[in-house]
Amino acid sequence: MILKLFKNNNWIKYLFEIELILIVSFALSMLITMLVGMPKTDDYYKTEDNSGIFEKYKIFTSINNINVKNITEDINNTENNKSFIKDFITLRSLSSELENKSYGIIDDFINKFNSDDKYLLYEKNKLKLRNLFIKQKYSEYIDEYNGEKYGFTYDMMLLKSFIFLKNETKSNEIFGSLLLSHPIKFFTNYLSETELSGFLKKISQSFWNKKLENMLQKGNFSDFRNISKYIKDKQLIYFVSAEIAYSKKQYSRTKLLLKKIKSTRFQTGKEKLLLKMRIREQDYANIDQALEKIISDKVTYKRLIYDIASLFLMKGESEKSLEYFSKFISLTKADKSNYNEDYWKALWTSVWLKIKVKDYKGVKSLFYEGSKSSVRSYRLANSFWYSFISEKNYSEIKKHPFTYYYARLTQYSDVKNHFKKNTFKNLFNKKGSELFYRLVFHIKEFLRYGLSDESLEYISWIKNNENLSTEDMNSIKFIETLIYFKRGDHYFTFTSFKNNFDNYQEIILPYFLREIYLPLRYEKLIAKYISGSGIKKELILAIINRESMFRPNIVSPAKAKGLMQLIDRTAKQTARKLGFKLKKNQIYNPEINIRLGTAHLKELLNKYDGKIYLALAAYNAGSHRVKKWIENFGNFEEEKFIEMIPFSETRNYVKNILRNYYYYMFYSAKNRSNVKL
């Protein structure tokens, strides 16, 4: 009877279909909620407003699923002629009309255009400034320039305006402020060679001292050759050149340059370099007497003590290194904030040097002191080992799940419940403001019309908005990450996330966003070349992630190339062992690079009896160094051996890959509680 009624009455049939759709929709929404990791704990529902996270997740999903429209067909068909995107495109297209000198059209538009939207007014002001400059109305340009951050191009137009108005004082002032933070090559597109040379010749000696000091501190000497010819102080040139030569390990050149330094102004710096050279050459006689010569310069003296300790560490002279690190700690303890990272690095290194020479006195208290560090990386490292020795509950580590130490902790403690208490939801856990939704709507408009670069420019502008709540600003920043993610650019995806969220190590991403941390690319190629080797694909993914961030054409400063960052010598040797000759630029081919990289890693794993940490250390620093470390460290366990690696780059390299390896396994595992390093 019921079936007959159902068949003969369409309205009942339609009602049933609607009800079925509603049931399925509800079930799917619950499934999506579980997949994206929506919290279920009681604590979560005690928060002030838990509906915000649902709204934000919905926005993130919609951003990720936007389909690009045809801008030329669609933009002119829009019902709202005052739409944000149409006004924006009009402003940008008029900007290109400046080249055609269509000043009348532009003047008319600027005079008539008005908007309640601050970004459109910002774009209008940029158009107006360019228009004034091209029309050579320099006084008006200066009057209209309101100090807002329009970028280097507009700063240079301001400089040129003062040049054309023959205001030498203001021109020199602006040029000097720009030169302090920009390399000379930035100016060559805007200033003639004569103009640039004229400015550089007027730069004061005190300015060059400041500029070169900044270069030395940052270790960035790329601009030195360009500016050195304008510096009249030859003694300053010799000293900076000696510092550069030393940093490049050109020790013979360093000595020649130091011999040319006669000025007493650089005597302390000269003595410092000479002493460091002696230690490198293993001439350890009368070090303390040499230090006495510069003790009056307390800052340089303390810095040199630290450098000497680091040099002895590199030389494998553990006791001497410990002696000088201890001296540095003693000298800087009272004002450690001025030395910050160096102080905590010295403290951390000293602990492991004590363990290495089997002097365990005070180790626990040093780990405890380090656990209070203002530098997160050292605070976490010391907290882990203090908790390990004291059999504490690792509370600080549990707050930072996306770390090497958390991955290590899974071997000693059941921490799976901490993944439910991730910080990700807390970044956005409030309803968005009206302003926030308007900004998001505009971002979506940019993306719908394929204006990805313009959407990122817009977000960069939004970041200066002081009217957004912390949660709304976090959401905007995360959308920036999603845009890079949507473009398939892992490097900028991860770096934008890391730069936008200082606490990124506290965050475990929901499953559907895991590739922000851990991209899954080239899996078929990896599977092909690890077949039968016993190597897990997750390890290769972790290495590629750390080495190149999945950029096949990347070249490192050390000339390592491709996805798995192989130097030419290693790549050619491995290719010969595999029976083929490596041709020019083949190393950049993803398949060739993965084939060679996995073969090289397999060789290292065989060499070190399958010990991943040793193979990784050798992959980064070379087998000859690992051999020396094994001889030097003795039979320490894996965790302790890693901490004793004297090269901070290699030590962090091994830790980062092991962390990524753990999480690649974690996200792919059916039973995550069984995942161990």
Which amino acids are annotated catalytic? 547
Among residues 299, 347, 354, the alpha carbon closest in space to that of 327 is found at 347
SS3 (DSSP) at 561: strand
The span from the CA of 644 to the CA of 640, in Å, is: 6
**Residue carrying structure tokens 């966003």:** 513
Among residues 287, 283, 282, 284, the alpha carbon closest in space to that of 271 is found at 287
Amino acid making up residue 665: M
The residues, ordered by sequence, that sit 6+ positions from 227 with a Cβ below 8 Å of its Cβ are 184, 200, 208, 211
User: Both tokens of residue 286?
Assistant: 């009368």
Classify each residue of 552-564 as buried b or exposed e, where b means 16 or more C-beta atoms within 10 Å of its C-beta: bebeeeeebbbbb
The residues, ordered by sequence, that sit 6+ positions from 482 with a Cβ below 8 Å of its Cβ are 60, 63, 64
Are 559 and 571 in contact by the 8 Å Cβ rule? The answer is no
Please report which helix (H) or strand (E) contains residue 9, including its range: none
Cα separations (Å) of 108 from 131, 270, 538? Answer: 12, 65, 61
- Angle between helix 490-500 and helix 470-487 axes, rounded to 10 deg: 170
Q: What's the first-to-final CA gap in the chain, in angstroms? A: 63
The span from the CA of 385 to the CA of 397, in Å, is: 10
Bridge partners (DSSP) of residue 555 are 561
The span from the CA of 15 to the CA of 22, in Å, is: 11
The distance from CA 376 to its chain's CA centroid, rounded to whole angstroms, is 16
The neighbour count for residue 280, using CB atoms within 10 Å, is 15
- Angle between helix 470-487 and helix 452-462 axes, rounded to 10 deg: 160
Please report which helix (H) or strand (E) contains residue 246, including its range: helix 234-247
